């Protein structure tokens, strides 16, 4: 409103409302969405075998009624959906699979369906001497075929990395990363506040969920030589989340975090207008890469088509999605037994948004934090936090208590998915930090890879102290 009169929206603003903002309205019961990407490795230290790729699709079709819905340009299925509307796909390459689970009011049914699928696939992987990994980075990327999927969108994205970034060979980025994405429904009036809160929790996400160490590549000089120089330099610096570095250095548009607080919904819209279009329709059934153009400027052109907007989206760590959700994209894929800990944490925090926001505000004030959210996250990942360790532990434990209380308020039994964080003696420690501890104790990274792929918190979990260390060798895992 201006001077008591409604403001006229520009064409670009109207499109932002249609593509993003209007989808938050009229949803009914709030739901949760979860997408989980998982690296697939060949334990023979080779590329993933085509026979295993086909066998996964066949199993999902026969046992869970998945039907192919999208194909590559050779006619091979790269996405399949079942009657529950759960979607399976290959994510960027055949080295990573993803389950995009149908939205539900609660986590439990999502988790039950997910574990049914992954348990069956892990048994199949064992038969084929492969492994589905609970890691945020592919530990066998050095052996992976990093070529992008032969699909119009992925080929256009690869074209962008080659032609409009300094890498010239961007394929290597496709072999690495895996994330767990949480989608939250929120009232439109609360959208700026939730985005602000989640942005400030980026460093907490790092301390609880970082799970992408590059340690598996340290001795592989041939592989490291293939990496862009910027990545090679970063390999020399310790970090708990190599995923962040991959995203920061890949030079793709729309990936940088928004490091300021939104004062209003109008500021959210303005930020979406400032995002870039860089993949557009090629005029037929495909796509092509272009130099990045600000969305509002692109729409101001005389000639553009609706198909040009197909790939337009935010890739930020905390994003407004085109599903009418807040999408938390910054979280590494977790050890498989803990796959739903991030969704539980963020669902509980969103349920208790007022209490959580007040505590975060007080923590910022009391500790005189005057750096950006992304700088704070980088400090956490480098283990260089200026705030004393005891204050950090207290703050994060209080946040976990707020999340647990929010989940209990929902009365769906979802607090159990916080898992290890509910134990009285739990440590504020990420999977990546735990893996560093295990390396110090003499574990091999192959043993750690196996433990992260366990589907329950039995003695095979990275959090257990009594793992059967010989199990990897007995299963044929190279140690």
What count of other Cβ atoms lies within 10 Å of the Cβ of residue 30? 16
Three-class DSSP category at 351: helix
The CA distance from 294 to 29, in Å, is 35
The CA distance from 415 to 413, in Å, is 6
From the list 84, 88, 90, the residue with the least C-alpha distance to 99 is 88
The CA distance from 311 to 280, in Å, is 7
pLDDT of residue 5: 46
pLDDT of residue 234: 81
Judged against a pLDDT cut of 50, whether residue 447 lies above it is answered with: yes
The CA distance from 45 to 267, in Å, is 49
**Element (H or E) spanning 335, and its range?**
none
Binning pLDDT at 50, 70 and 90, where does residue 461 land?
Answer: confident
From the list 334, 341, 332, 336, the residue with the least C-alpha distance to 418 is 341
Judged against a pLDDT cut of 70, whether residue 468 lies above it is answered with: no
Binning pLDDT at 50, 70 and 90, where does residue 474 land?
Answer: very low
Q: What is the mean pLDDT of the chain?
A: 91
The CA distance from 100 to 114, in Å, is 9
Three-class DSSP category at 180: strand
pLDDT of residue 171: 67
CA atoms within 13 A on the CB side of 111: 21
φ, ψ for residue 391 (rounded to 5)? -70, -40
Please, are residues 231 and 245 in contact by the beta-carbon 8 Å criterion?
yes
Average pLDDT estimate for 322-335: 97
pLDDT of residue 9: 78
Three-class DSSP category at 291: strand
**254-273 pLDDT, tens digit each:** 999 999 999 999 999 999 99
Judged against a pLDDT cut of 90, whether residue 152 lies above it is answered with: yes
pLDDT of residue 223: 82
pLDDT of residue 473: 41
Judged against a pLDDT cut of 50, whether residue 478 lies above it is answered with: no
pLDDT of residue 475: 45
pLDDT of residue 227: 79
Report DSSP state, residue 332: B
Binning pLDDT at 50, 70 and 90, where does residue 426 land?
Answer: confident
In sequence order, what are the residues at sequence separation of 6 or more whose Cβ sits closer than 8 angstroms to the Cβ of residue 89? Answer: 70, 78, 79, 80, 97, 98, 100
Judged against a pLDDT cut of 70, whether residue 476 lies above it is answered with: no
pLDDT of residue 472: 45
Task: Give the long-range contacts of residues 458-462, CB within 8 A, separation 24 or more.
Answer: 461/335, 461/337, 462/335, 462/431, 462/434, 462/435, 462/438
Binning pLDDT at 50, 70 and 90, where does residue 8 land?
Answer: low
Instruction: Specify the residue for token string 């539980």.
Output: 344
Please, are residues 347 and 406 in contact by the beta-carbon 8 Å criterion?
yes
pLDDT of residue 111: 98
Please, are residues 141 and 231 in contact by the beta-carbon 8 Å criterion?
no
Binning pLDDT at 50, 70 and 90, where does residue 402 land?
Answer: very high
The CA distance from 479 to 472, in Å, is 7
Q: What is the 3-state secondary structure (H, E, C) of 122-137?
A: HHHHHHCCEEECCCCE
Judged against a pLDDT cut of 80, whether residue 146 lies above it is answered with: yes
From the list 176, 181, 177, the residue with the least C-alpha distance to 318 is 181
Average pLDDT estimate for 334-347: 97
pTM of the predicted structure, to 2 decimals: 0.94
From the list 227, 220, 245, 217, the residue with the least C-alpha distance to 168 is 227
Please, are residues 335 and 451 in contact by the beta-carbon 8 Å criterion?
yes
Average pLDDT estimate for 442-455: 94
Q: Which of 70-79, 172-181, 219-228 has the highest mean pLDDT?
A: 70-79
Q: Which of 20-29, 171-180, 203-212 has the highest mean pLDDT?
A: 203-212
Q: Render 388-449 in DSSP notation, one character per residue.
A: -HHHHHHHHHHHHHHHHHHHHHHTSSGGGGGGGGGSTT-----HHHHHHHHHHTT--HHHHH
Judged against a pLDDT cut of 70, whether residue 170 lies above it is answered with: no
pLDDT of residue 427: 87
Three-class DSSP category at 199: helix
Structure tokens at 200: 């400030």
The CA distance from 186 to 380, in Å, is 28
Average pLDDT estimate for 15-32: 95
More confident residue, 200 or 225: 200
Percent of the chain topping pLDDT 70: 93
Binning pLDDT at 50, 70 and 90, where does residue 355 land?
Answer: very high
Query: What are the C-alpha distances in Å from 170 to residues 152, 154, 157, 287, 313?
Result: 16, 12, 9, 17, 20
* Residue 42, beta-bridge partner list: 46, 130
**95-136 pLDDT, tens digit each:** 999 999 999 999 999 999 999 999 999 999 999 999 999 999
Q: Where are the alpha helices (DSSP H) in 236-294?
A: 242-249, 265-274
């Amino acid at each position: 409103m201006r001077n008591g009169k409604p403001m006229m929206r520009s064409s670009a603003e109207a499109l932002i409302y249609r593509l993003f903002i209007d989808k938050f309205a009229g949803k009914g019961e709030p739901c949760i969405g979860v997408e989980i990407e998982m690296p697939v490795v060949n334990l023979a230290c080779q590329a993933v075998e085509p026979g295993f790729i086909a066998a996964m699709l066949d199993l999902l079709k026969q046992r869970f009624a998945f039907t192919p819905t999208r194909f590559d340009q050779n006619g091979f299925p790269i996405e399949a959906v079942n009657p529950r509307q759960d979607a399976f796909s290959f994510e960027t390459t055949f080295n990573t699979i993803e389950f995009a689970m149908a939205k539900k009011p609660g986590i439990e049914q999502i988790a039950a369906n997910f574990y049914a699928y992954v348990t069956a696939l892990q048994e199949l992987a064992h038969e084929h001497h492969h492994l589905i990994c609970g890691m945020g980075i592919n530990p066998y990327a050095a052996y992976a075929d990093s070529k992008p999927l032969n699909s119009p969108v992925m080929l256009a994205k690869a074209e962008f990395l080659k032609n409009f970034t300094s890498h010239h060979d961007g394929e290597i980025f496709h072999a690495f990363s895996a994330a767990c994405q949480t989608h939250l429904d929120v009232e439109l009036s609360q959208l700026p506040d939730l985005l602000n809160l989640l942005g400030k929790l980026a460093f907490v996400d790092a301390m609880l969920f970082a799970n992408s160490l590059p340690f598996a590549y340290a001795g592989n000089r041939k592989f490291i030589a293939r990496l862009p120089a910027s990545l090679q330099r970063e390999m020399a610096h310790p970090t708990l989340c190599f995923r962040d570095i991959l995203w920061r250095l890949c030079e793709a548009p729309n990936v940088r975090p928004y490091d300021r607080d939104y004062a209003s919904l109008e500021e959210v819209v303005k930020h979406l207008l400032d995002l870039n279009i860089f993949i557009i329709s090629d005029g037929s059934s495909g796509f092509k890469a272009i130099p990045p153009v600000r969305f509002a400027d692109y729409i101001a052109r005389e000639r553009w088509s609706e198909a040009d907007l197909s790939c337009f989206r935010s890739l930020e760590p905390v994003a407004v999605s085109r599903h009418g959700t807040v999408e938390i994209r910054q979280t590494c894929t977790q050890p498989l037994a803990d796959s739903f800990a991030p969704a539980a944490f963020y669902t509980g925090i969103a349920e208790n948004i007022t209490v959580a926001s007040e505590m975060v505000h007080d923590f910022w004030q009391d500790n005189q934090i005057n750096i950006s959210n992304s700088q704070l996250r980088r400090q956490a990942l480098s283990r260089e936090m200026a705030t004393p360790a005891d204050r950090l532990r207290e703050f994060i434990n209080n946040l976990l208590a707020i999340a647990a209380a929010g989940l209990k308020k929902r009365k769906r039994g979802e607090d159990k998915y916080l898992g290890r964080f509910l134990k009285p003696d739990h440590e504020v420690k990420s999977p990546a930090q735990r893996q560093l501890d295990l390396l110090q104790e003499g574990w091999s990274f192959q043993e750690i890879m196996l433990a992260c792929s366990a589907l329950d918190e039995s003695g095979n979990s990275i959090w257990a102290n009594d793992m059967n260390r010989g199990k990897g060798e007995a299963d044929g895992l190279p140690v």
